Structure 1
Amino acid sequence: MRAIPLKSLASLAVLGLLATGCGQGLLGGGDSGDQAAKKDGPILLGMLIPQSGSEAAIGPYMSNAAQLAVDEINAKGGVLGRQLELKTADDACDAQSAAAGANKLVTEEVDLSVGGYCSGATLPTLPIFGKANIPMIIPAANSQELVDQKLKHVFLINGTGSQQAMAAEKWITKQGAKSVALMHDNTSYSKDIAVRTQTLLEVPGGAEPVITEAVTPKESDYSANITNVLDKKPDFVYWTGYFQEGGLIARQLRQAGYKGSIMVGDGSVSPKLMEIAGAEAAEGVYATMTQTPDTLEGAEGWIAAYKKKYNADPGPYSNQAYDAVRLAAEAVTKAGGTDGAKVIAALEAIDGFPMFSGPLKFTPEHTLASGGFQILVVKGDKFALQDALK
C-alpha cells in the first residue's frame, strides 16, 4: 500500500483532533462499567520525565503538555465519569533514578504510565510497571531494545530506533555523502541508532561508514574523539546521542576545521544544542526527528492553547506527551475501566485514533505502523523542517 504523505497524516490528525474537541468527544460520558462502580476516585496517570540532570530542559515540555490534555479532558467530564490526575516523578535520564521513580509511582497506585524520555532510563522501569500490571504508553523513548523486550504492556508512540536509522540512511544517501562518521554515547538509545545506521550504510556503492566512535557522556572536551573521527576524513558526521554532548561535538568539530555536514538524532533536538554549540557552529546542523509542534500543519490552535496556559512555546515531545494522555483516556474508555489487561487489549485494538503523528494503529510489536521521521535543520535559533522524507 502506498504510504500517505507526512503532511497529509498531520492534517488528518489535526482534523481528527478538532472533530473530537481534542479527543474529548471520544472520552466524555458512556457506560461507566463495573470498574467505575467499584472506584469513583480519579484515574491516576504516572509520568516519568527528566526533572533534573543534563536532560532536565525536556521535562517541562512533556509534563506541561500532559497536564494540558488532562485539564481539557476533565473540563469535558473526564473519563467514564471520573477525573484524570497526573503524577510526575523524576528519572533524571538515569537508570537508578528511573527505577526509584517507577517504584514511587507504583506505590502511589497509578493506573497507567504515560512517561519515558531517555531509553536507557525507561528500560529498567518496564518490569516494574509490568509486575504491577500497569500499561505503559511511552511518548518519547524509542530504542529498539524497548521493542525487543516483547512485553505486552509496553506501547511506543514515537518512531523506533530502526525507523530513525532508516531515515538517517535515506537522508545521508540523498545528500550524496561518500564517507560517514557515526558517533554515539554508548547508551542503549544512542548506540542502537548508530549501529543500525552503520548496517544500513554498508551496501556496495553507497556512503561508506568509515568510523563508529563512542564517547563518554558528560565530558567537557571531546577533542580526542574529534581527532579520531577527522583522521578518517568523513564528509558527513551523524551524532546519535543527546544535546549536551551534541552541542559540544558540533562546536569542537567546527573549531577543528571540519567543513562537512553534521546531523544529530532526536535526543539532540533542543534549543540547548544551539546554546552549547554556539550560533555559528549550530547553523545548518541537520536532525532526524519525529513531528515537533512547529513542524505540524494545522496545529496553531493547540500551540496557542499551550502558550496561553504556560506563557511559553511547546518544545520537543510536548505533542507526543499530549497524545499519550489522550490515548490513555481513550483506552480506559474502550476498556470500561482501568483493569490493566483490559486496557492493554483496548490499546491493541486501536484503529485510526487521531493523533498528531496521524491516525494510530499499532503493529503487533506495539510500535507505530509508520515512524514519521523527518529531517530538521538549524536555522537561526530553532530547528526548522528541511525534508519530510516522503
Structure 2
Amino acid sequence: MKTHPTTPAASPLAVRTPSHAATLAAILTAVAVSTTGCGGLLDSSSKGGSSKGPIILGMDIPLSGSSADIGPYMRNGAQLAVDEINASGGVLGRKLQLQTEDDACDPKTAVAAANKLVAAGASVSVGGYCSGATLPTLPIFDKQKIPMVIPAANSNQLVAQHLKHVFLINGTGKQQAAAAVAWLAKDGAKSVAVMDDNTSYSKDIADLTYAQLGTAGAPSKATEEAVNPGESDYSPNVTSVLKSNPDYIYWTGYYQEGGLLIRQFRQAGYKGKFLVADGSVDRKLVEIAGGSGGEGVYATMTQTPQTTPGAENWIASYKQKFGAEPGPYSTQSYDAVRVAAEAIKAAGSTDGDKVTASLEGLNGFQTFAGPLKFTSDHTLSNGGFVILTVKNGDFALQDSLN
C-alpha cells in the first residue's frame, strides 16, 4: 500500500458553500498551524502516567454487525488525519496513535469497547456512530474526564444529559428533523408516514419530525410506525402504513432495514416517494432495495466526501492511501481527530478538563462543515443537512435547502 504523500498543510479540505471559498487558504493554514510548532509546549499530564509516549485517540465504531460497512470509512478517515498530523511533528512533540474497538452498534459491546479504550489510556474519544451504542459509553468516558468528539452519532439524548466532556460535530436529530420537514414541504408532500426502529437515534428523529407535521406550512400526518430491527419480513408494518395512504414515507433507521422496507413497500404496490435519514446513506441501501427500487430515494444527510464542493484532492489522497473510495462519515471522522488535536495543542496538555475547556473555546477552526464553534450544548450551531438522492446506484446532492 502506498504511503500518503501529503502533510496537513498540503491536504485540501472542503468548503461547503461558495461563501466559504475565500477561506480555503485559511483552512490549509489552520491545519498546518494546528499540527506544527508544538514541540516547545510541555504536556502536564497524560493517560497512563507518562508524558512521553504516543497520545492515544480511542475510537468505538461498528466493525461487525449490520452497520459494519460504516466502520472502515470512519477508521480510515481518522487514520488519514493521524498520519498527516504525525508527518508534521505530532502534537506537543508527541505522535498520535489511533486505537479502534468494535462496538457492533450494540450497547453491551460498546460498553466493553469503551472500557478497553479507557484501560489503553485514551486521552480523547473520537468515535461514535450508532447513538444507541454511544449513549451508554458517555458516563464511562465522562467519569474518567476523557473528552468525546463524536463524529456521527447525533441523537439529542447524547447532549440532553449535559455531560461536561461530550461534544458533537455532526448535526443533531433536531436539526435533521427540521431539514426533513423543510424538504417534504418543498417537494410537495401531502401526507407523510414516519417510520423508525425504536433505537435512540431513529426514534429521536422520527418523533421530532412527526411532531412538526400538520403544522403551518408542513405536510399532514399519515401515521408513525416502529419496526423491530433485524427482521427480514416487514409485511405487517408495510400493510399498516399503507392503510394511512401516505404519498411520502420517511424512514429514520439504518440501511439494512431501510433497504428491506423500500423493497417490500414496492412489492406491495406503493408508488409514493421515500426519504431516509443519515443512517441509511450507504450504497448497501440501494443493493438491498433491489437496485432500481432504490433509485430516486431521497435522504437527509450532512455532506459526504462525494457531495462536498472542493473535496476532490482529499478524496484522491484517501483513495491513494486506502485503495478505496471514502464513504459516509469519513470526513467527519477526519475532522474529529483534527479537532481533538487542536484542543490538546491549545491546552498544552492531555488533561481532560483542560482539553474540554479548549474544545469549548474553539472559534473558527476550519472543518469540512465550515468554521467550528460549539454552542453551549456542545453541538454545532448549524447542522449542515442537505438532501441527497440516489442516482445510478449511489447518493448524489439533490438540494442544499438554501
Give TM-score, length-normalised by structure 2: 0.93
Deviations 1:310-362 (A, max 9, x none): 11000000000000000000000000010000000000000000000000000
Moved over 3 A (4+): 8-17
CA 147–34 in structure 1, closer or farther in 2 if over 3 Å, else same:
closer
Q: Quote the residue 2:134 is aligned against.
A: 122
Q: Does 1:27 align with 2:3?
A: no
Unaligned runs of at least 5 residues, structure 1: none
Alpha-carbon distance in 1 for matches of 2:95, 2:166: 24
Residues 181 and 218, structure 2, Cα contact 8 Å, conserved in 1:
no
Residue of 349, 354, 358 corresponding to 1:346: 358
Q: Which residue is equivalent to 1:213? A: 225
Q: In 2, are the aligned partners of 1:185 and 1:216 still within 8 Å (CA)?
A: yes
State the partner residue of 1:18. Answer: 28
Aligned to 2:340: 328
Query: Does 2:89 align with 1:81?
Result: no
User: In the alignment, what sits opposite 2:214?
Assistant: 202
**Correspondence 1:134 to 2:134:** no
Q: Percent identity?
A: 62
**Which moved further from structure 2: 202-211 or 165-174?**
202-211
Which of 270, 288, 300 is the matching residue for 2:282? 270
CA positional deviation for 1:169: 0.3
For the structure 1 residues 303 and 34, does the alpha-carbon distance in structure 2 shift closer, same or farther, using more than 3 Å as the test?
closer
Amino acid at match of 2:284: K
In 2, Cα distance between equivalents of 1:152 and 1:9: 33
Alignment RMSD (CA, Å):
1.5
Shift of 1:209: 1.4
1:205, 1:79 → 2: CA distance? 50
The Cα of 1:245 is off from its aligned counterpart by 0.2
Helix, strand or coil: the match of 1:362?
coil
Distance 1:15 1:388 in 2: 24
205-214 vs 167-176, which deviates more? 205-214
CA distance in 2, matches of 1:67, 1:191: 31
* CA-CA distance at 1:10 after TM superposition: 5.8
Give per-residue Cα distances to partners, 1:59-106, cap 9 Å, x unaligned: 000001101100000000000110000000010000000000000100
What is the CA deviation profile of residues 274-328 of structure 1, one whole-angstrom value per residue up to 9, with x for unaligned ones? 1100111100000000010011111111100000001100000000000000000
Deviation at 1:210, TM superposition (A): 1.4
Counting only pairs closer than 5 Å after superposition, residues 1-390 of structure 1 correspond to structure 2 as: 6-8=16-18, 11=21, 14-20=24-30, 23-30=31-38, 31-35=40-44, 39-204=51-216, 206-390=218-402
Once the 2 structures are TM-superposed, how far is the Cα of residue 14 of structure 1 from its aligned partner? 4.9
Matched residues in 1 for 2:219 and 2:329: separation?
Answer: 31
Please list the CA deviations of residues 118-153 of structure 1 after superposition, one character each: whole Å capped at 9, or x if unmatched: 000000000000111100000000001111111110
One-letter amino acid matched to 1:60: P
Amino acid at match of 2:292: E
CA 1:141–1:10 in 2, change beyond 3 Å: closer, same or farther?
farther
C-alpha distance in 1 between matches for 2:155 and 2:244: 28
User: In 2, distance between residues paired with 1:231 and 1:131?
Assistant: 48
Residue aligning to 2:12: none
| SS of equivalent residue, structure 1 residue 35 | coil
**Cα distance in 1 for residues equivalent to 2:69 and 2:239:** 30
**2:6 corresponds to:** none
1:275 and 1:13 map into 2 onto residues whose CA distance is 39
CA distance in 2, matches of 1:282, 1:64: 27
Q: Is contact 1:35–1:336 with CA below 8 Å preserved after alignment?
A: yes
> Residues 102-121 of structure 1: CA distance to partner in whole angstroms, max 9, x if unpaired?
00100101000000000000
Q: Which amino acid aligns with 1:297?
A: P
Aligned residue for 2:395, secondary structure, equals: strand
Q: Distance in 1 between matches of 2:113 and 2:103?
A: 6
The answer (yes or no) to whether the contact 1:180–1:209 under 8 Å persists in 2 is yes
Q: Is the 8 A contact 1:10 1:357 kept in 2?
A: no
Separation of aligned partners in 1, 2:298 and 2:70: 19
Tell me how far 1:13 sits from its aligned partner: 6.7
Moved more, 202-211 or 34-43: 34-43
Q: Is residue 319–residue 325 contact of structure 2 (8 Å, CA) maintained in 1?
A: yes
d(CA) in 2 for partners of 1:149, 1:101: 21
CA contact (8 A) 1:14 1:356 kept: no
Q: Is the 8 Å Cα contact of residues 184 and 218 (structure 2) preserved in structure 1?
A: no
For normalisation by structure 1, the TM-score amounts to 0.96
Whether the 8 Å contact between 2:305 and 2:327 is mirrored in structure 1 is yes
- For residue 380 of structure 1, what is the amino acid of its counterpart? N
Q: Is the 8 A contact 1:10 1:296 kept in 2?
A: no
Count of matched residue pairs = 384
State how far apart, in whole Å, the 2-side matches of 1:34 and 1:268 are.
41
CA deviation profile, 1:166-219 (whole Å, cap 9, x unmatched): 000000011111110000000000001000001111314631111000000010
Secondary structure of residue in 2 paired with 1:33: coil
